Structures are given as C-alpha cells and as structure tokens.
Amino acid sequence: MSGQRVRARAPGRVNLIGDHTDYAGGLAVPMAIDLETVVTGTRGGGRVHLRSANEPLPADVPLEVADPVAVDPPWARYLAGVVAEMRPPLGFTGEVSSTVPVGSGLSSSAALEVSVALALGYEGDPLGLARLCQRAEQRASGVPSGIMDQLTSILGRAGHALVIDFATLTVTEIGLPPDIEIVVVHSGQPRALAGSAYADRRRDVERAIAELGPLRDRPASDADTLTDPVLRRRARHVIGENARVLDFAGALARGELREAGALMVESHRSLRDDFEVSTPVLDELVARLLAAPGVLGARLTGAGFGGCVVALGEPGALAGEGWHVHASDGATVTVEGG
C-alpha cells in the first residue's frame, strides 16, 4: 500500500571465526553488531529514491532497472540489485543513515541490501530474504560472495553469536559470556583487489571440491592428496577452518575463552599461509593486538586483503582500540499508517 511510513533497520556483522567457508558448504561463527543501517520513508511511485547522510549524491533507481552494475552513484548499485531481484510493485522515497563503516569488512553492503528489501515490503521467510540480498550483492558488485553476511544481518540475536552451517543453512545461537570484549579494529588498509582475488579463491575451492568432493567433516590429510600445491593449501584451510569453528563454538559454550582465542589465532595463520588473503598490515595489527595483556585472540575478519581485524579480550584489555561491538538483534521493519 502506498503512503505508509516505513522504518527498516539491518545490522552489520563481524565474523568471529570461519572465513572463506560459506561458499564451501562449511561453518562459521559470526554475530550481528550494534552498528546498523536504517532506511526510513514512504512507499509509492515508480522509483526508489534514497538520500544518504554519508553520500553526496542520492540513489534514484527505476523499478524496471535492468543492470545494477551500470547504475550511478556506486552505492546505488546495491539498491538497484535489490530492486532487480525483488521487483517490488511500488517505489520508495526516503533516507538512509548508517553507522556501519563502508569498505571495512563489516558488511555495510549486506546491511543496506537487507534494510532496503524490508523497506520495499519484502514478504517471505528469512532464508529467502538472505538469498535475495545475496543475489543483489553479486549483481551489484560482480563478486561471487557467499550468504554469511546477509544471513547474519537478518538472523542476529542480542547477546549471541550464530553458528551457521552453510551445507544445510541451519543456524544455532550460542550465548556469549558477559565477561568478554569483542573489538573490531580497522587496519587502515582499504580492501584492494577484494573482488577479483575473492573470485580467484572461490574458484580454487570449487576446483578442490570437484576433485575431492565436499570438504566438510574430512580429515585434514585428505587435502594432501591433491596434486596442485595451491589447491592443497586452499583445501587445508577450509578443512581446518571448519574444525576450528566447531572447537571454537564448544570453547565459547564452556566459557573457555583462552582456548577460543587461541583458535582465532590459528585461523589467522591459516588465512595468511594457506588461503593467502592476509596482508603484512593485517598481520602486524594482529601481532600488536595479541601483545597486549588480556588479549586472548585476534584475526582478520571477512574476506581479507585489508579491512578489519577482530579481537577477543578480557574486560578493559582492548580499551582505546577500534569499535567495541556487541551482538545485536537481526533486521526489523515497522510500518505505520497508510
């Protein structure tokens, strides 16, 4: 219906462990964070028109938009991706504001896609929404990204991390101990080459799967049967990372934060040495954070190639560092009047 006042919000996310596993049918433990994108406005008309407090130019997208990647300004491509995938019957006029830093690996684009889809009146189940927004992301960016970011933004729960099984797309909530500090620190390095290098990694993993079969629940030694040394390293990361995710979830549930932190450090090493998505700047930042008393773990988070590091610490250990984030509830929408 037109004339309704709509407010939709969707959080960013941080991934505690399990990177480059989602498109391999693996496992990860992300959480939605208390940095979010909010879309407010009114449904109606034949275009989606949004102004953003963070962008000089508005997004203005016709409902029949054909090619999201050709849309300008660039931030409007994510809206265009949602419109192209959703084909809503009515347009929208309003505003978007966001506290999720852009280009940091905290899923500002997923937060935008999910909040826009809800503002436009998405009807359906959460998994359908996540899939729609994942397709929007892929069309807008040209990057064959997985579904972790959208799923987390939608299904997040305050005080909890999510254990996501990407083979079955099932999500289990895991309570975070209160005496834990989770901090995201930006490396200052923009995520250069993230798109093409991400696509390369995904292709490597798919080639490894074509040779070995699904990488889930396999002994690490299976990776060694691959003849190509690059694929061997990629498979070793994915197999090892899935095992670390399970151990991490267990450690967190038992409140064994030292063990959880040590697994994050192993994850970073694997992303650096076997998956080759770290950078010297990220490595140095991880090392610096780990050197501080009371810091239990640190690792790059998200795709890598720059962006952010996530660290786990005892209360106060990370004072003065980055964004202190808290697990938050997933996306919501409210509609008034009409």
Could you give the residue numbers annotated as active site? Answer: 149
CB of 218 to ligand GLA, least distance (A): 19
CB of 82 to ligand GLA, least distance (A): 16
State how far the Cα of 338 lies from the Cα of 311, in Å rounded to an integer.
45
State how far the Cα of 5 lies from the Cα of 119, in Å rounded to an integer.
9
CB of 150 to ligand GLA, least distance (A): 8
Our CB check for ligand GLA shows the closer of 20 and 236 to be 20
Our CB check for ligand GLA shows the closer of 68 and 302 to be 302
State how far the Cα of 248 lies from the Cα of 174, in Å rounded to an integer.
11
Our CB check for ligand GLA shows the closer of 23 and 92 to be 23
Per DSSP, the residues of 231-248 read HHHHHHHHHHHHHHHHHH
CA distances from 210 to 213, 226, 273, 335 (A): 6, 11, 23, 47
Our CB check for ligand GLA shows the closer of 27 and 96 to be 27
CB of 311 to ligand GLA, least distance (A): 17
Which residues make Cβ contacts (< 8 Å) with residue 73, sequence separation at least 6? 55, 56, 57, 59
Task: Assess 274 for contact with ligand GLA (CB under 6 A).
Answer: no
Contacting ligand GLA within 124-183 (CB under 6 A): 145-146, 148-149
CB of 254 to ligand GLA, least distance (A): 25
Task: Assess 302 for contact with ligand GLA (CB under 6 A).
Answer: yes
State how far the Cα of 91 lies from the Cα of 87, in Å rounded to an integer.
10
Our CB check for ligand GLA shows the closer of 200 and 314 to be 200
CB 120 within 8 A of CB 43: yes
- N-terminal to C-terminal alpha carbon distance within the chain: 7
State how far the Cα of 208 lies from the Cα of 25, in Å rounded to an integer.
13
**Interface region with ligand GLA, contact rule CB under 6 A, candidates 17-25, 74-82, 167-175, 228-236:** 17-25
Our CB check for ligand GLA shows the closer of 63 and 164 to be 164
Quote helix, strand, coil % in the chain, to nearest 5: 40, 25, 35
Our CB check for ligand GLA shows the closer of 91 and 306 to be 306
Chain centroid, CA 109 distance in Å? 9
State how far the Cα of 158 lies from the Cα of 145, in Å rounded to an integer.
25
Closest CA to 149 of 197, 100, 196: 100
Residue nearest to ligand GLA (CB): 146
CB of 16 to ligand GLA, least distance (A): 11
Region at 112 (left for phi over 0; alpha for psi -120 to 50; beta for the rest): alpha
CB of 107 to ligand GLA, least distance (A): 6
Task: Assess 20 for contact with ligand GLA (CB under 6 A).
Answer: yes
Which residues make Cβ contacts (< 8 Å) with residue 37, sequence separation at least 6? 9, 10, 11, 12, 96, 97, 98, 99, 100, 108, 111, 112, 115
Residues that bind ligand GLA (CB under 6 A): 19-20, 22-23, 145-146, 148-149, 302-303
